[in-house]
Amino acid sequence: QVFTFNSVEIKVQPSVKVKNGAPMSIICHADISKSTEFQLEYNFTIFKDHKLVFMTVSDKGDARYEIPMAKSSDTGDYKCTVQADKKTKWSFPVSVWVTGMTKPILTADKKGVLEGEVVKLRCELPEEEPPLYFCFRKTKTNSTPKETCQPEPYRNFSVAEFPVEEGDHILQFDCFGRRNVNFEWDTSEYSNKTLITVREPFIKPTLITTPSSNVTEGDQIQFECSTVAVRMRDIEIILQKNKTILKSVQDKKFLKYSTVATLEHSGEYLCKVEQGRATKTTKMKIVVSELFPKPTLAASMTKLDENKELTLSCNINGFRRANFSILRRNSNGDIPLKSSKTLTMRVNVNDTGSYTCTAEVKGIVKESKPVRINVYAPVSKPTLSVVGGLPEVVLGEPLQLVCHSVMGTPPKTFTFYKGNEVKKTVINDTYATFLDENIRLNDKRGYKCDARNNHSSGMKTSDILNVTVIVPVKGASLGSVPYGEVEDGSETAFLCSVKEGSWPILFRIFRKTDHDVLVYEKSEHADRVMWHKKTMKRQDTGTYYCMASNRANMDVRSHPITISVILAAWKKGVIAAFVLTILAGAGALALWWFWRKKKKGK
């Protein structure tokens, strides 16, 4: 009894796409080859999305899983396995789609609500399996429905809350569900409709004003905001102007607010009544007519010298009767100067500042635009100096000057001159600086500056500052007479000179040793210096050089020269005579000794 599985396949009747509620059969068929005809028992198992849904044992090659009424939850991938006498065979999966969804059920937690309350709805698809997508629809009377949708990945129902707004009277709700199958959307029909009746917790507020029209600055204006409510607890009435709360009351049916009308009170007013989540508003526009225009402050002069007379006058165009005051602006509060229409005073520098005036009619006070008054003291004669001290500069280096004027009202205008040429103009309070970066030997060296401000006296000019240009020392050299060899005890002249450099020049002559020794130093208003050394000695033999410098503080060093001190000629003669005398004496003694020896021999 030999057999083998040729194939196992799964079939769907009537098709793989079935309408919701229609009958459906899942058939598992095994194709088997046998060596002879013999009875064989088969174990059939059918899976949907890897979950066991049907099992049976049969001696036939087919097994049927009957679904009398297909649901959308029956959608999925089906496959089966057949086992016979220790042999098992699997089918390939087949996708089944049950189109259409069951009708959802919509329930509400209440049938009647007040404005501001919340309606809680539940939409359920009891015969469907998640993930699902639920949409709720809210429909007002004679309006288009508004949808609110939300996913439900793990349950077959969804809950939503809808706040009841002002103007909602009768609300109708329904819902529907969706699901995604093979990248296509399947949508259910609409649920049952649920009607919600809405009652007002309070009526729309009433806002009235007294007077109702023709409000003029200075009038007493009163606002009254009122409503009628089902219950007064937790009710609040608020009066606003341009989002600013003017007054509010709680647990009362009306609000009153009064004030003296000004132009600033023109605008839109809002009366708002709130209770819980319910809100109702009423708007009103108020236009306040101008009683009188803002005053204008006029000055006889806005820029004047100290000790001059200043007149300030306050006027209202087309209006005469008012209480006027003239004030001076101050950071700590305006300072009243005079309760009058005009003010005349003799000014000094401390009177510089901003001035305004006010006018009062029927309790309404208006202020003019500020007028700036500048009082000027004359500038003092400026002083011009070099930054750093002495009026001198090294050739090629920059020269920085400062012009300083102690007295006078700022701002001041400083002008720098080189010769008669204007080089720079600076505006500052008390001083200004100028940098001359191009100093040449043949420049005009007279500098001056002037200072001025808005005082009528005009400008003041400094004294001329003459600046000395210091030429650095260049080309130092050292020579001697005699040069090279010098007799011991003789006189030697050393000459240290420079090619150029401003006087005075400091000359220094050094002899080289382990530590160079300064042997001569002198400052001269000349380009050279001569040093006479009266007596040269043997220890004066060595190498000499000189260094030269001036106020440019740049040392210039010469090439070195070598001096050798030798014996004087007369000293050489004495030594020679002494040596010859000794040699003559030695010769005479030798002759005498030779003569004596010869005489004894005879």
Question: Is the pLDDT assigned to residue 445 strictly greater than 70?
Answer: no
Classify 21 in phi/psi space as left (phi over 0), alpha (psi -120 to 50) or beta: left
Domain 206-286: what homologous superfamily?
Answer: Immunoglobulins (2.60.40.10)
Task: Determine the average pLDDT of the residues in 32-59.
Answer: 90
Global pTM reads 0.49
Q: What is the pLDDT of residue 437?
A: 84
Q: What is the pLDDT of residue 100?
A: 82
In the chain, the amino acid numbered 328 is R
Q: What is the pLDDT of residue 275?
A: 84
- Terminal alpha carbon distance of the chain: 175
Q: Give the torsion through C-alpha atoms of 201, 206, 207, 212, to 10 deg.
A: 180
**Sequential DSSP letters for 134-189:** EEEEEEETTS--EEEEEEESS-SEEEEEEEPPTT--EEEEEEEEEEEETTEEEEPP
- pLDDT-wise least confident of 66-75, 162-171, 266-275, 521-530: 162-171
pLDDT tens by residue, 324-348: 999 999 888 889 999 999 999 999 9
Find out whether 202 and 272 touch, Cβ atoms under 8 Å: no
pLDDT tens by residue, 207-234: 999 887 788 888 889 999 999 887 788 8
Task: Determine the average pLDDT of the residues in 89-116.
Answer: 89
Percent residues over pLDDT 70 in the chain: 97
Task: Determine the average pLDDT of the residues in 526-548.
Answer: 89
- The pLDDT-based confidence of 290 (bands split at 50, 70, 90) is confident
- pLDDT-wise least confident of 122-126, 532-536, 583-587: 583-587
CATH class of 105-199: mainly beta
Q: What is the pLDDT of residue 311?
A: 94
Which of 522-527's residues contact partners 24+ apart within 8 Å by CB, and which partners? Answer: 527/497, 527/498, 527/499, 527/500, 527/501, 527/503
- pLDDT-wise least confident of 457-466, 498-507, 535-544: 535-544
CATH number attached to the domain at 383-470: 2.60.40.10
Percent residues over pLDDT 90 in the chain: 49
Is omega for the bond preceding 93 within 30 degrees of 0, making it cis? no
At the second CATH level, the architecture of 3-99 is: Sandwich (2.60)
Separation of alpha carbons 337 and 329, rounded Å: 10
The CATH label, of 2.60.40.10, 2.40.50.140, 3.30.420.40, 3.10.450.50, for the domain at 474-569 is 2.60.40.10
The CATH label, of 2.60.40.10, 3.40.50.300, 3.40.50.12170, 3.30.465.10, for the domain at 296-375 is 2.60.40.10
- pLDDT-wise least confident of 22-26, 385-389, 507-511: 385-389
Find out whether 23 and 69 touch, Cβ atoms under 8 Å: yes
Rg (CA), the chain: 61
The CA-based angle 591-595-600, given to 5 degrees, is: 150
The SS3 call for residue 321 is: coil
Q: Which of 355, 382, 390 is nearest to 371 (CA)?
A: 355
Rounded alpha-carbon distances, angstroms, from residue 570 to 277, 409, 442, 488, 576: 135, 88, 58, 11, 10
pLDDT tens by residue, 191-214: 999 999 888 888 889 999 988 778
The more confident residue out of 351 and 568 is: 351
Q: What is the pLDDT of residue 574?
A: 65
Domain ranges of the chain: 3-99, 105-199, 206-286, 296-375, 383-470, 474-569
